[in-house]
Chain A
Amino acid sequence: MSKAGWIRLVVLVAFFGAVEALCRTGAISPKLIIAPSAMLGAMVKLLASGEMGDDIRQTLLSVAIAMGLSIVGGFGLGCVLYWLPPLRRAVDPFLAAYYSLPHFAFYPLLIVIFGLGALPLIVLATLFAMVAMTMATLTGLDRIPRVLIKTARMQRLSLPAEIWHIRLPAAAPHLFSGLKLAVTYSFIGVIAGEFILSTSGLGHQIAFAYDNFDNPTMYGLILFVLCIAIVFNLLVFAYERRLARQRGL
């Protein structure tokens, strides 16, 4: 590991160690933050007891569906906009302002259209996450070096071969950053929706535990959600690294 990597590890360990020590000695009240080790214990206990099983399944399933839809849909939309510059010029300001729109205001409308339950949340999260993927796709396609495309012409590649061998690999780094954002935004969409406007799911359980001053449950669940998000990001990151190494970067 590099020098920076070691220092980073030390910084992180020191941070969590300090929080742990402050909590254990009572300098931070357990009404505010419980010790990291206690969070971990609470998470393991919650998962082992299985009482959150249904909520976990529901939330993860919703996130997975929203993620899949937004990645495929966002990529498709990005390609369409790339091939149709006039449409793209018209939509550009909308895309740029998209993430400051109050998406959750449209939730009641989605309930009327899609009924109660998980479906409106999935639609909300998909709408929320898709545009990040679209913008990343556009950036990726825009930044393909001209040289590569000229090389493809010289080799007389067919259009599918050009897309598969040249365009997609060249755009891949941006596609991956879009992918990571789409994952995060799917989580935010589903969990924020559950927080505010739902009667089941992990987000609802976190909010419920907060309302009942049940800090162990709340922190256990928060840690669980963060762990899933981190594991997912690390997987994408590892794959990205492997691709980069294959190309000798």
Chain B
Amino acid sequence: MTAVRTLRGPLLLTASLLVAWQLLHQWAGDTALTAPLPTLEHLWTMIGQKRFVPHVTETGLAFLQALAIAWIAGVGVGVLLGGHRLSGEVAEPILVGLYSLPKITLYPVILLLFGLGMPAKVAFGALHGIIPVVLFTMSAVRNVNRTYLRAGRSMRLTPMQMAWRILIPATLPEIFSGLRIGFSLTLLGTMLGELFASQRGLGFLLMTAIDLNDVATILAIAVLISLFAVVANTILLAIDRRLRRGSAA
């Protein structure tokens, strides 16, 4: 019963989006927007084609590398800045400032520094994702309840026990929220990077399709990426909620 209730909202939303899509198709015509069903069929045939797979792999690899850098480096830097109060205070406004810059304007600079191809995409994706991870981790580490640390010290925990029993459980929920936001932004950055000056990957296919006005392919790729984004996000959000509930109890 609860499954039905939690699923009802998203299902209704999906259904209304599909109806809106179909209506928009009726109104705008085939040259602007293919109908939902033919688009999905087109996506299916595209996935079956051999030349499609390398593009997906390219984008996937770029995204995974960018994500790994953003997550690992982000948590590392965040822990350091959170642990050392003065450096945290120095760095925080700079990071917030960087976070609110339109980073897309910096993409040509990244291209000049890293050259065309994979490294530039990875760098641009990581650049988008890393700052929220650092900010969230920093605030999580800074806000660890001092009483926990004192309790740990009075029980003479070893540094390993301290990290495993106290620090990680206390900071994980907030850090995970940062990782979740970092995930979305890394995907955005990687995709933006592929749209501009790229020779492979889903973004490149998308740009080629836009140049050729191949509406079915444009929409098929958009649907594919959106599906991935929504599914991944839903999973991360569910984990996030569970962690938060666990920490509150």
Contact = CB atoms under 8 A, between A and B. Distances in A.
A82 interface: no
Interface stretch (A46-54, A89-97, A147-155, A159-167): A89-97
Interface of B: prevailing SS: helix
B33 to A, nearest CB: 6
Interface of A: prevailing SS: helix
B9 to A, nearest CB: 4
Given A3-B86, A97-B229, A108-B215, A102 B206 contact: yes
Contacts of B215: 108-109
B112 A180 contact: no
Size range of the chain A interface in the assembly: 35 or more
Interface in A72-125: 86, 89-94, 96-97, 99-102, 104-109, 112-113
A197 B215 CA distance: 16
B195 interface: yes
Interface in B203-243: 206-207, 210, 213, 215, 218-219, 221-222, 225-226, 229-230, 232-234, 237
Contact of B105 (A4, A107, A181, A206): A206
Contact of B9 (A31, A92, A180): A92
A196 B183 contact: no
Given A3-B86, A4-B90, A196-B195, A100 B100 contact: no
Interface of A: 2-4, 7-8, 11-12, 31-33, 86, 89-94, 96-97, 99-102, 104-109, 112-113, 180-181, 183-184, 187-188, 191-192, 195-197, 203, 206-207, 209-210, 215, 218-219, 222, 225-226, 229-230, 233
